Amino acid sequence: MAYREMCDLATLKRRKKMKKTRGDTPVLLIHHEEKVYALSDRCPHRKASLYKGGFKDGIVKCPHHGAQIDIKTGEIVQKPKIAFFSVKTQAAKTYAVKIQDGKVFVDL
Ligand code: FES
């Protein structure tokens, strides 16, 4: 594990969320309440891009089956639903973040 540079903090603040890929790891970066959070951009259910989903009040919503994920912990706060049935899924992977010299770094 090592910290990798992802983006400028000012750009992330302006856009609110960004998707960056390092190697074969897609990372969703979110600026929320003056902090930066990083989690895998692959939904833990069936790998959809969470970047393409919604974001509100610290929760990302997967665009495919509606799983809702806490960006601070990666915990599933609402399970995915397929044909009205809730499906159990594991938590999303989160990454440690540090800010240095106006840049966002993520421990991958
Ligand atoms: S792929 Fe995200 S909820 Fe199914």
The ligand 1 atom at the shortest distance from the C-alpha of residue 46 is 1
Nearest CA to ligand 1 atom 1: 46
The reported pTM is 0.95
pLDDT in single tens digits along all 108 residues of the chain: 899 999 999 999 999 999 999 999 999 999 999 999 999 999 999 999 999 999 999 999 999 999 999 999 999 999 999 998 999 999 999 999 999 999 999 999
Domain range list for the chain:
3-107
Question: What is the whole-number distance in angstroms between the Cα of residue 57 and the centre of ligand 1?
Answer: 19
**CB-CB neighbours of 101 under 10 Å:** 8
CA 82 to chain centre: 22
CB contact set of 51 (below 8 Å; sequence gap of 6+): 17, 18, 19, 26, 28, 41
Determine the CATH number of domain 3-107: 2.102.10.10
Nearest CA to ligand 1 atom 3: 65
